[in-house]
């Protein structure tokens, strides 16, 4: 059985996040009995995290213990009677204590799965979200269609012969951990991909992920502001930029507001400052017939679509909803 004692500390701490706000923290002492088994540890941690209001207590417990043991989640349940060593028990207690303080599991275990890739993540980058996988889906659709058109052109069956045989060029703006750029590169050889970020710290994580998945020769990373680092125009621009309004920041879940980098999340007074700048730059950097794909907040579809129509008056602009029927992507086909 686990013993719990929570005490409020008088100290403030910087929780390791890049926006660096000092926040009051609660220190938790959470302990398992010596010799506790895998099954007992999972049950005790799940119950404690649930009591703290953590949304996914069972999954979080599995991920943390699996990380310590080097096991899959399935292996945990085939070895429930296996006692934890003192070192394993203390390591698990430490992670659970940090999770009780709302530190995201992805930061605790140092990785997050995205589009089938296990990616390094830490406080320098935003944690990739499942809903962002839709951005990759749409980009891959564009690349596949362009590749088919190029093939027809090469065979004299329409299309632009000047573009036949050339890969589709893709720029991932605000690449962060490299999640979107690497997912695209890992799933097609018909594209050249570059990732851009204003944060050198984020680019270091992206480079590490490219090395991890042996994609370092397929994806180029550029440091700079939005599209400014591009030397030439591209066929596809994908962007998951900050879109949270400043006044919403303090109302976000503590997992986000206390730990994830505000630079990657907050987009000014209405959340659209960075998106406006991207949309204004895009006409000069997008080739004719190109595509702009931008992830947005659930209530921002109409506003961002209007911005896009101002800059691309002759383009096809639409708002794409996610699997929960929320506005998620604005697609601009020039």
10-residue mean pLDDT profile of the chain (334 residues): values are: 37 37 50 95 97 96 98 97 97 97 97 98 97 97 80 52 71 98 97 98 98 97 98 97 92 93 94 97 96 97 98 97 95 96
CA distances from 292 to 129, 193, 331, 334 (A): 20, 14, 6, 8
Q: Delimit the CATH 1.10.8.10 region(s) of the chain.
A: 3-109
What sign does the dihedral 229-232-233-234 (CA atoms) show?
Answer: negative
What local confidence, expressed as pLDDT, does residue 250 receive?
84
User: Residue 153 and residue 165: Cα distance in Å, rounded?
Assistant: 9
CA distances from 333 to 262, 282, 316 (A): 30, 12, 5
Q: Delimit the CATH 3.40.50.150 region(s) of the chain.
A: 125-333
Cβ contacts of 162 within 8 Å, gap of 6 or more: none
Class of domain 3-109: mainly alpha
What local confidence, expressed as pLDDT, does residue 160 receive?
53
What local confidence, expressed as pLDDT, does residue 208 receive?
98
Class of domain 125-333: alpha beta
pTM of the model: 0.87
DSSP β-ladder status, 22-31 and 117-120: unpaired
What local confidence, expressed as pLDDT, does residue 150 receive?
57
What local confidence, expressed as pLDDT, does residue 165 receive?
58
């Amino acid at each position: 059985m686990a013993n719990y004692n929570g005490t409020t500390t008088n100290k403030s701490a910087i929780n390791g996040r890049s926006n660096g706000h000092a926040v009051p923290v609660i220190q938790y002492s959470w302990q398992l009995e010596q010799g506790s088994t895998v099954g007992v540890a999972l049950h005790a941690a799940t119950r404690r995290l649930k009591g703290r209001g953590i949304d996914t207590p069972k999954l979080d417990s599995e991920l943390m213990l699996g990380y310590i043991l080097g096991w899959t989640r399935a292996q945990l349940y085939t070895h429930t009677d296996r006692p934890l060593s003192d070192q394993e028990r203390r390591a698990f207690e430490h992670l659970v204590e940090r999770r009780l303080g709302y530190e995201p599991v992805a930061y605790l275990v140092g990785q997050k799965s995205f589009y089938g890739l296990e990616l390094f993540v830490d406080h320098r980058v935003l944690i990739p979200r499942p809903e962002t996988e839709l951005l990759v889906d749409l980009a891959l659709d564009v690349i596949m269609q362009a590749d088919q058109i190029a093939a027809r052109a090469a065979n004299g069956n329409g299309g632009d012969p000047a573009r036949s045989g050339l890969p589709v060029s893709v720029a991932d703006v605000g690449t962060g951990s490299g999640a979107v750029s690497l997912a695209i590169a890992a799933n097609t050889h018909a594209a050249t991909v570059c990732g851009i970020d204003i944060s050198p710290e984020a680019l270091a994580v992206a480079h590490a992920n490219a090395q991890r998945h042996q994609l370092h020769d397929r994806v180029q990373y550029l440091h700079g502001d939005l599209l400014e680092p591009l030397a030439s125009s591209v066929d596809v621009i994908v962007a998951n930029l900050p879109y949270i309004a400043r006044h919403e920041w303090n109302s976000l879940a503590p997992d986000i507001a206390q730990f994830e980098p505000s630079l990657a999340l907050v987009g000014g007074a209405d959340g659209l400052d960075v998106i406006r700048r991207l949309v204004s730059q895009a006409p000069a950097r997008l080739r004719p017939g190109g595509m702009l794909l931008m992830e947005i907040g659930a209530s921002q579809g109409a506003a961002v679509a209007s911005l896009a129509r101002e800059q691309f008056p002759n383009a096809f602009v639409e708002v794409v909803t996610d699997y929960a029927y929320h506005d998620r992507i604005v697609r601009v086909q020039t």
